[in-house]
Amino acid sequence: MTYMQNRDISWLRFNLRVLEQAENQLNPLLERLKFFSIATTNLDEFFMIRMGSLLDIALVKPDANDSRTKLPIKKQIQMIYDFTRNYYLKHEYVYQELIQSLHQKNIFILKPDQLDSEEKKIIKTYFKSMIFPLLSPQVIDRVHPFPHLESKKEHIGVLLKSNDRTMFGLVPIPSNDILFRLPGESLKFVFVKDIIYKYVDLIFDMFKIEEKVAFTVTRNADIQMDDLYEDSVDIRIKMKEMLKKRKRLAAVRLELSSPISKTFHDFFIEKLNIQSYQFFHVNTPHTHHFVSSLKETMSSKLLQSLSDTPFKPFKRYTNQAMIPTLLNKDMILTFPYDEMTPFLRLLEEAAKDPFVRSIKITIYRLARRAKIVDYLIQSAENGKEVTVIIELKARFDEQNNIDYSEKLEAAGCHVMYGIEGLKIHSKLCVITRQIKGQIQYFTQIGTGNYNEVTANLYTDFSLMTSHQGIGQDAIKVFQSISLSQYDVSYAHLLVAPETLKPKILSLIEHESSKGHQGYIVLKMNALTDVDIIEALVKASKAGVQIEMFVRGVCCLLPGIQGETDNIRVMSIVGRFLEHSRLFIFGKNYEEVYLGSSDLMTRNTERRIEILTPVNDTNLKMYLKNYITVLKKDHIDAKEINWDGSHVAIPNQSQDVSSQVYMMQHYDKMHPTYKKLNWIQKILKIKTP
C-alpha cells in the first residue's frame, strides 16, 4: 500500500529529529547536550526492544513480512542497520559540533594526546593511584573463559602477544566515574575510558599489545511475559526472575571506537554470536551519562547561563477545595504549564474526608518519590478502601513498581497486577463519596502517568470531573479488571481492547459521511493501527479534512494524490516531550476525547486503555484554541512528507513555537472559564 511506511524506519526518522535539536543553535548549549543524550538513549532502547523482537521473529519465521508494507523481515532488518550506519555519521558530526561549542565556553573535553606534558603526568598518576586498583582485567584462555558482558557496559578489548602465543584481554570500564576533571580553575575533562585506553599497556605489561579497541555490547531486553501467568506463581516473584534474565539476553549491536582487524572481528563474532552487519564504528561516547556528569561539575551560575530559562507551572485553584469545586464544574490541567497540585490536593482531601468511602487508581509509572503513594497510604490508614492496580510490566520501571506495590500492600491497600495477557496502560482514578444517602463520584482520567517529575517535562492533559456516568463507568473498569472480565459495555468511556477501537472507527466513518464538511484532528505519540489508517484514508478520499499531530512513529504517509491528499501530519519536537493524546471529530468539536491510548495496535487491541469524552463546552473551546496554537508552530514542528521524510514548514506570518508560546502566555490563561479566547485574540486567526 503506497500510503503505508514501515514503523521502525518511521521511528528512526523521528529520532533523527531529536538529534537535530542537539544541532539547533537556537537551543542553549546544555539543552543541545540534553537532546544529544536523549537521541542516544532512544537509539539504545530501540535496539534493546525493537531490534531484539525483530531478530527473534526472523529466527522463528524467516519468511515473515511487515504487516503494513509487506516488507520481508530480513529486508527490514537490513534497512534498519543501514539507516543506523548513516545515523551514526550524523551523530558523530553533531557530537564534534557540541565539543567545539563547549570549547567556546571554555569547557574542554579532551583526548589524552591533546594534553600538555604536565597534564599527561597528572592523568597517568591518577590512573595508577585511583583507577588501576578498581579494575578487573582478564585474559581469555582455557582457564579464564569469555565472561558475560553486561548490556551497555563499556569495555576495552586488547589483542595480546606473548612469545608465539596470541590471546585476548578485557578491561571493564568502571561506571561510577565517567569524566576526570583536571586540577585548576578551568573546566578541563578527560573521559576515564580514554585514560584507561591510553594506559592499558600498563595493565597487561607482561604482554605485547598488538591491537586495542573500546567497545560496548547492546543486548535484547524485550523479555517475554507469556509464561508469567501461572496460577501458582505470584507475578511479582516471576517478574523479579525475568529482570535477572533480561541481563543475559542475546547481543543485537556492537559499538566499536575504531575499525578492527579480522582476528578481532572473528573473535567477537564467535564469543558474542553476532553478525558483521551488527558492528558499528562509533567515534563518540557509547553512553549518554557523560552529560549529567558534566553538569554536576558546573557552578549554578554557569548552569543557568547554558540552560533554558526556568519555567514554573501555573498554580491553579490554590485557594479552592477540590471536591466542592469539582461538584460545580469539570477541570482540565495541561502539563507542564499547570502544576499537578490540584490532583494531588484532591487525593489529600479524599484521604481526610469522612464521607469518602474508596479510592481506586491504576498506576503505570511513578516518580522515585511519589506524593501520590503517600496519600494512598494515608487513605488506607484512615479506613478508606484503597485499590491500586499497578502494572509490573511497565518497561524499565518494573523494579520501581515492584517496590511501590510492596509498600502499598504493607500499608493495607488492596494491590492487584492486572489481567492475564493485557498490559494496563490507562491513567484512571475514581473516588467514591457517600453523603446523605447519595453516592458521588470524582474521576480523573489522564493522558500521562502519575509521575510528579515527568509532569514538568511532558505535555499531557488531566481531566477531573464529578460526572456520575463517567464515574460509574470508571467503577466498572476496576470491577472488570478485578474479575478478569473486560467484555463490558460502557455508556461514556472508551475502553480498549473492546470498545475503544470500534468507537474511533465509527467516529471516523461518521465524518466520512459528511464528505468535504467532515473534520478530524488527532494528536498522539504514534499511529500504527492498520484498521484506523485505512479508515482515515477512506475519509481522506471522501474529502474529509484531517489534521494530525504525531510526535513519533507514523505509518500513514500523507499527501499521496488520490489517497491521503486531504491528510496533513505534523510532528513537534521541542523543550517538552509531546505526550498528550487528543481526538476531535467535527468542525464544531462535536465529539472530543482524551486519554491514555495512542492509535497503535498494541494500545487498541492488547492493552487496557481509556479515553474519556470532554463534555464541558468551555473545555472544548480551550482545546480548540490549544490546537490552533499547535497548527501555527513552524519552529519546533515539521511536516511529514509523502515519502516519510520530515520537512520544514514554510515561514508564516509569525514565528511561533507552540511550547514557548504556551509558557509565555499561560499566566494570562483563563483565571476563570470566561477568558477562553485569549489565543485567538493574540494570533488573530480563526479555527476551522
Give 680's Cβ-side CA count (13 Å radius). Answer: 12
d(CA 440, CA 242) in angstroms, rounded, equals: 42
pLDDT value at residue 674 = 38
pLDDT bin (cut points 50, 70, 90) of residue 688 is: very low
Nearest to 14 by CA among 533, 640, 634, 629: 640
The pLDDT of 57-86, averaged and rounded, is: 91
pLDDT bin (cut points 50, 70, 90) of residue 238 is: low
pLDDT bin (cut points 50, 70, 90) of residue 576 is: very high
Q: Which of the following CATH numbers is that of domain 135-274: 2.102.10.10, 3.30.1840.10, 3.90.640.10, 3.40.50.300?
A: 3.30.1840.10
pLDDT bin (cut points 50, 70, 90) of residue 677 is: very low
Model confidence at 528: pLDDT above 80: yes
- Strand extents, DSSP E, 605-660: 607-613, 637-640, 646-648
d(CA 119, CA 121) in angstroms, rounded, equals: 5
Q: Are 609 and 425 in contact (CB under 8 A)?
A: yes
- Strand extents, DSSP E, 530-606: 545-550, 567-572, 577-578, 582-585, 591-595
- What percentage of the chain carries pLDDT values higher than 70? 92
pLDDT bin (cut points 50, 70, 90) of residue 228 is: very low
Q: Is 426 helix (H, G, I), strand (E, B) or coil?
A: coil
pLDDT value at residue 670 = 44
Antiparallel, parallel or unpaired: β 279-281 and 251-256: parallel
pLDDT bin (cut points 50, 70, 90) of residue 499 is: very high
pLDDT per residue as tens digits for the range 406-439: 889 999 999 988 777 888 999 999 999 999 999 9
Model confidence at 149: pLDDT above 90: yes
The answer for residues whose C-beta is within 8 angstroms of residue 614's C-beta and 6 or more apart is: 330, 332, 463, 592, 593, 594, 620, 623
Give 364's Cβ-side CA count (13 Å radius). Answer: 21
Q: Which CATH superfamily is domain 322-482 in?
A: Endonuclease Chain A (3.30.870.10)
- β partners of residue 458: 577
pLDDT per residue as tens digits for the range 262-303: 999 999 999 999 999 999 999 999 888 889 889 988 999 999
Model confidence at 615: pLDDT above 80: yes
pLDDT bin (cut points 50, 70, 90) of residue 244 is: low
Active site residue 425: yes
Nearest to 471 by CA among 501, 436, 429: 429
Nearest to 632 by CA among 660, 674, 667, 602: 660
Q: Is 661 helix (H, G, I), strand (E, B) or coil?
A: helix
Q: Are 555 and 10 in contact (CB under 8 A)?
A: yes
Model confidence at 234: pLDDT above 60: no
pLDDT value at residue 223 = 55
> How far, in Å, are 119, 237, 345, 397, 451 from residue 371 at the CA level?
48, 26, 10, 17, 9
pLDDT value at residue 241 = 56
pLDDT bin (cut points 50, 70, 90) of residue 133 is: very high
Mean pLDDT score across all residues of the chain: 90
Q: Are 493 and 427 in contact (CB under 8 A)?
A: no
CA of residue 70 relative to chain centroid, distance: 27
pLDDT value at residue 164 = 82
Residue whose cell numbers read 558546573:
298
Q: Is 241 helix (H, G, I), strand (E, B) or coil?
A: helix
> How far, in Å, are 219, 421, 486, 508 from residue 605 at the CA level?
28, 11, 12, 18
Domains 322-482 and 494-683 share a fold: yes
Protein fold of 1-105+284-310: Methane Monooxygenase Hydroxylase; Chain G, domain 1 (1.20.58)
Nearest to 267 by CA among 153, 135, 155: 155
Top CATH class, 494-683: alpha beta
pLDDT value at residue 444 = 98
Of residues 668 and 274, more confidence is placed in 274
pLDDT value at residue 60 = 81
DSSP secondary structure code for residue 89 in this structure: H
Cell numbers given for 440: 458521588
Q: Are 151 and 190 in contact (CB under 8 A)?
A: no
**What are the residue ranges spanned by the domains of the chain?**
1-105+284-310, 135-274, 322-482, 494-683
> How far, in Å, are 192, 418, 477 from residue 486 at the CA level?
53, 11, 8
Q: Which residue type sits at 592?
A: V
Model confidence at 242: pLDDT above 60: no
What number of H helices and E strands is found in the chain?
22, 27
* Per annotation, catalytic residue among 286, 425, 467, 646: 425
d(CA 27, CA 159) in angstroms, rounded, equals: 43
Model confidence at 680: pLDDT above 80: no
pLDDT value at residue 163 = 84
pLDDT value at residue 616 = 96
pLDDT per residue as tens digits for the range 395-408: 666 777 788 888 89
The answer for residues whose C-beta is within 8 angstroms of residue 514's C-beta and 6 or more apart is: 544
Helix residue ranges, H only, 166-288: 192-198, 200-203, 235-246, 262-272
The pLDDT of 74-102, averaged and rounded, is: 96
pLDDT per residue as tens digits for the range 501-527: 999 999 999 999 999 999 999 999 999
